[in-house]
């Protein structure tokens, strides 16, 4: 026991003389991802900066504000509305305010708390008399002299947690901006799909009337009538499905906005087409640039720093804790003499507590702090890997979706021509009923597919903008 006390005393003395902190020195871990994007991402059109590894274009997304990336006035207005009214974002901002208050508490722990105190007591003595004691003055109660950095480590932990909540708020803002943009695109696509379906249904309803008239006069068979009814009912089923999807997409966008769509936006839905939305080209830069651009990665790093600081507080618990209680004021046996001359005085009561036996509590706390740091490290590395995959997926999709969009546009032109020629052949008795039905079904499918692929292509541009860390306010970065 004496040996333990002497070793602890020696450590305490050396730490006191050196004025050192027991918090481990933080070093940013290496990024557990490749130095270059995958080949599937590097072949994206206009992505020469990625293929060459040129970092000069790396700031493209991060330096581009969302107001510059989204040039459409209606979409910008919707994003502004969401940023002002979205409840999830409001909670994220309030979390920042709460973390700032917690940081203020930890910072205040580094300074003594000065209080004004007054007390009085009356108690009977053994001879039947009444003893009275009154005191008033200024007191400092249990102020910890932070020789081993416990309080400072807790302050550093609170600071890192506060910075992490800021990054979480920025990440929530980025996600909200991207989701609102994608939601607006979904509504535009719904309107385009509804227009195609309504036009197709009207056309097939008119065709059904003609076939029914032919059947009535013996110019067409029941098979032709049933075939036309099949096409008409399928178009009606598709229209009902799209009406439901449009309602669901609008409800989702309303939730993001925090209020219903205004009249101007409803009108714009009828006037604007999906292919009118244009976005700037985004150089992807190098994978390492994500460490500086993505707020979710910076949030994970701040959580790692907080866990690192917690180790310092856990280590300091092994060393003596020195606290100071002091007071200065007046004391008297009579209330009337409390502030008279000669009643002034002061007290000083330092206290040193040295842990000797705690059944392993301090060691368990230290082990928990070290394990917490390993957990935070794994989460930090996972956030980097997830970000790397998101960017690589978006870059690879940009290439393939662009090619798919061009092919779908060409396919629609071919199907329109085929449908026209088949109709002429059918009217002149050259093509049979099956060829005619197949041409109509293929044309309708090509029209719907083009809208859906255009939506996927546009939404991929938003996903890439978000994945590259675009849209973070310059004032906070």
Asked, for residue 70, whether it belongs to a domain, the answer is yes
User: So what's the pLDDT on residue 371?
Assistant: 96
Asked, for residue 370, whether it belongs to a domain, the answer is yes
User: So what's the pLDDT on residue 473?
Assistant: 56
User: So what's the pLDDT on residue 18?
Assistant: 41
Asked, for residue 336, whether it belongs to a domain, the answer is no
Residues in the chain: 477
Q: Find where tokens 């309080």 sit.
A: 151
Asked, for residue 9, whether it belongs to a domain, the answer is no
The CA distance from 295 to 349, in Å, is 48
DSSP 335: G
The CA distance from 171 to 343, in Å, is 61
Which CATH number covers residue 245?
1.20.1600.10
Nearest CA to 295 out of 475, 64, 467 is that of: 467
Structure tokens at 415: 């199907």
Asked, for residue 133, whether it belongs to a domain, the answer is no
> Residue 284: exposed, middle, or buried by beta-carbon count in 10 A (0-12, 13-18, 19+)?
buried
Asked, for residue 264, whether it belongs to a domain, the answer is yes
The CA distance from 60 to 57, in Å, is 5
What total of structural domains would you count in the chain? 1
pLDDT in tens, 203-259: 888 888 888 887 888 877 888 888 888 888 999 999 999 999 999 999 999 999 999
The CA distance from 167 to 383, in Å, is 13
User: Residues of the chain whose pLDDT is less than 50?
Assistant: 1-19, 43-58, 474-477
Q: Taking the model in full, what pTM does it have?
A: 0.83
Q: Find where tokens 């029941």 sit.
A: 222
Beta carbons within 10 angstroms of residue 99's beta carbon: 21
Asked, for residue 121, whether it belongs to a domain, the answer is no
Q: State the residue range of the domain holding 217.
A: 18-110+146-319+354-467
pLDDT in tens, 48-103: 343 333 434 445 566 678 888 888 899 999 999 999 999 999 999 999 999 999 99
Asked, for residue 128, whether it belongs to a domain, the answer is no
DSSP character string of 122-170: EEE-TTS-EEEEEEEEEEEEEEEE-TTSHHHHHHHHHHHHHHHHHHHHH
């Amino acid at each position: 026991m004496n040996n333990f006390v002497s070793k602890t005393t020696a450590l305490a003395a050396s730490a006191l003389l050196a004025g050192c902190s027991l918090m481990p020195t933080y070093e940013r871990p290496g990024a557990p991802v490749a130095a270059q994007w995958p080949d599937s991402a590097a072949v994206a059109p206009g992505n020469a900066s990625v293929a060459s590894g040129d970092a000069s274009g790396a700031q493209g997304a991060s330096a581009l504000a969302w107001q510059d990336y989204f040039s459409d006035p209606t979409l910008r207005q919707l994003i502004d509305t969401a940023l002002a009214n979205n409840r999830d974002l409001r909670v994220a901002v309030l979390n920042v305010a709460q973390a700032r208050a917690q940081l203020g508490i930890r910072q205040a722990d580094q300074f003594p708390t000065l209080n004004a105190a007054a007390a009085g007591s009356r108690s009977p003595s053994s001879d039947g008399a009444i003893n009275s004691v009154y005191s008033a003055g200024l007191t400092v109660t249990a102020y910890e002299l932070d020789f081993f950095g416990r309080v400072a480590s807790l302050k550093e932990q609170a600071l890192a947690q506060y910075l992490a909540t800021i990054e979480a708020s920025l990440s929530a803002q980025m996600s909200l901006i991207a989701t609102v943009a994608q939601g607006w695109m979904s509504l535009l696509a719904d309107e385009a799909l509804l227009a195609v379906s309504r036009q197709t249904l009207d056309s097939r309803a008119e065709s059904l009337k003609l076939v029914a008239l032919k059947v009535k006069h013996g110019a067409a068979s029941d098979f032709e009538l049933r075939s036309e009814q099949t096409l008409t009912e399928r178009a009606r089923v598709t229209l009902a499905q799209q009406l439901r999807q449009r309602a669901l997409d609008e409800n989702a966008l309303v939730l993001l906005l925090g209020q219903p769509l205004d009249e101007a936006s409803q009108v714009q839905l009828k006037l604007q087409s999906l292919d009118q939305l244009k976005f700037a080209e985004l150089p992807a830069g190098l994978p390492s640039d994500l460490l500086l651009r993505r707020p979710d990665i910076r949030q994970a790093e701040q959580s790692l720093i907080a866990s690192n600081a917690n180790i310092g507080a856990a280590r300091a618990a092994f060393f003596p804790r020195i606290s100071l209680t002091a007071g200065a004021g007046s004391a008297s046996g009579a209330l009337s003499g409390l502030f008279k001359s000669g009643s002034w005085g002061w007290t000083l009561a330092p206290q040193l507590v040295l842990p000797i036996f705690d059944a392993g509590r301090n060691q368990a706390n230290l082990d928990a702090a070290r394990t917490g740091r390993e957990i935070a490290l794994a989460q930090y590395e996972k956030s980097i890997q997830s970000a790397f995959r998101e960017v690589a997926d978006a870059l690879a999709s940009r290439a393939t979706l662009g090619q798919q969009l061009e092919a779908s546009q060409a396919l629609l032109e071919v199907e329109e021509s085929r449908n026209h020629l088949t109709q002429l052949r059918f009217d002149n008795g050259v093509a049979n009923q099956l060829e005619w039905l197949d041409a109509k079904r293929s044309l309708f499918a090509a029209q719907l597919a083009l809208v859906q692929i255009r939506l996927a292509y546009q939404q991929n541009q938003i996903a890439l903008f978000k994945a590259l860390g675009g849209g973070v306010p310059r004032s906070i970065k």
